[in-house]
Amino acid sequence: MYKQVADDIRHQIQLGLLLPGAQLPSESRIADEYGVGANSVRSALRVLRAERLIVTEAGVGSRVRDPEERSMVTIPPGARVTIRPATDDERRRFGLEPGEPVAVIATAEGEEVLPAYRVVLVAEDDADDR
């Protein structure tokens, strides 16, 4: 049942019936609307979060995620790239779920932290080809 709920909400997002930033109904309202249990709704929302279509905030609910452009980051020689779980502060700043990774790009000038899913790493030698 949760797949049908996820499929329907995904379809509404793809058609533009649910726009970026739109608040989804509460879990109990979705359960009533589809005639399913709370666990099915939670599973459907988990799938949509994993697909990065929605974001859920405790006490606020779920909303359609704004489309994000990927950031192309050129890695200069000597730079170090580390992928690690986001800290609580980074999760709040970037709207990430627990356990989602960030990319830490360390250079002589300092560090840049970005959500890992948004980063396209390009070696400096390859950047000239783009």
Domain count, the chain: 2
What's the pLDDT score for residue 15? 87
41/19 same-domain check:
yes
HSE, CB side, 13 Å, CA atoms: give it for residue 95: 18
Give CA 22 to chain center in angstroms.
Answer: 15
Distances (CA, A) of 112 to 51, 78, 79: 25, 15, 11
22/58 same-domain check:
yes
Greatest mean pLDDT among 46-60, 65-79, 80-94 lies in 80-94
Q: Show the domain range for 100.
A: 71-127
Q: Is 32 helix (H, G, I), strand (E, B) or coil?
A: helix
The pTM of the whole model exceeds 0.85: no
Q: Is 98 helix (H, G, I), strand (E, B) or coil?
A: coil
